[in-house]
């Protein structure tokens, strides 16, 4: 129930994001979801791609600071209040969410959220126990 995510350190300078995404394209990987958090000087680009290890290796070779981490992805109904359900479950279990970002797809009516928590396995278990839909790599990429 774990999905690989790539985090990339990006300096805020003209054209840099274009160069980095071009490098990812060169590895043959396709970006499925992304988020970028930034300050005035630098940002962290987080992406989910179909070939995470290839993309990370290509980025590393290009001298870019990059890490691969495990995250979880959940599917939620597109109805008011639906998102609060998994948040409440995690909160009650004492699991802090470090960051998250959402995406939608053309193949499904649902909305999807990528979650980064300290302990993926425990989070996945409590969510599944309460009936929340969790995606594995295969399930995730079949949505695209």
Partner 1 sequence: MKHQIWNKEMECMKRSDLKALQLERLKALVDYCDKNSKFYHERFEKNGITADKIKTLSDIQYIPYTTKDDLRDTYPFGMLSVPQKKIVRVHASSGTTGNPTVVAYTREDLDNWAEQVARLVYAAGTTDESIVQICFGYGMFTGALGLHYGLERIGATVVPTSSGNTEKQLKFMRDFGTDTIVATPSYCLYLAESARERGIEFPMDSYKLKTGLLGSEGCTPEMRKQIEESWGNGFFCTDNYGMSELNGPGMSGECMMRDGLHINEDHFLCEIIDPKTGEVLPEGSEGEMVVTNLTKRGLPILRYRTKDITKINYEPCECGRTTARMHKIIGRSDDMLKIRGVNVFPSQVESALIGINSISPHYQLVVRREGFADNLEVRVELIDASLLEKYSELENLRKNIHDRIKNILGIEIKVSLVEPKTIERFTGKAQRVLDLRNK
Residues that bind partner 1 (CB under 8 A): 7-11, 16, 37, 41-42, 44, 63-67, 69, 98, 116
Task: Give the Cα separation of 4 and 114 in Å (integer).
Answer: 11
CA distance from start to end of the chain = 17
Beta carbon nearer to partner 1, 26 or 99: 99
| Least separation in angstroms between CB 54 and partner 1 | 17
Task: Give the Cα separation of 6 and 132 in Å (integer).
Answer: 24
| Least separation in angstroms between CB 14 and partner 1 | 13
Cα-flanking dihedrals φ and ψ of residue 104, to 5°?
Answer: -125, 165
Beta carbon nearer to partner 1, 114 or 143: 114
Beta carbon nearer to partner 1, 7 or 105: 7
| Least separation in angstroms between CB 15 and partner 1 | 13
| Least separation in angstroms between CB 118 and partner 1 | 10
Task: Give the Cα separation of 55 and 1 in Å (integer).
Answer: 21
Q: How would you class 141 by CB atoms within 10 Å of its CB: exposed for 0-12, middle for 13-18, buried for 19 or more?
A: middle
- 3-state DSSP call for residue 15? coil
Beta carbon nearer to partner 1, 65 or 108: 65
């Amino acid at each position: 129930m774990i999905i690989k995510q790539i985090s990339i350190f990006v300096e805020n300078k003209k054209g840099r994001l274009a160069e980095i995404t071009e490098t990812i394209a060169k590895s043959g990987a396709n970006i499925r979801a992304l988020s970028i958090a930034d300050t005035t000087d630098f940002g962290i680009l987080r992406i989910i791609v179909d070939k995470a290890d290839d993309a990370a290796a290509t980025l590393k070779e290009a001298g870019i600071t990059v890490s691969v981490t495990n995250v979880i992805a959940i599917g939620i109904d597109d109805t008011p209040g639906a998102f609060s359900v998994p948040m409440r479950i995690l909160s009650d279990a004492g699991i802090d969410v470090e960051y998250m970002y959402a995406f939608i797809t053309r193949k499904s009516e649902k909305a999807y959220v990528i979650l980064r928590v300290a302990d993926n396995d425990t989070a996945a278990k409590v969510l599944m126990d309460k009936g929340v839909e969790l995606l594995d790599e295969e399930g995730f990429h079949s949505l695209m």
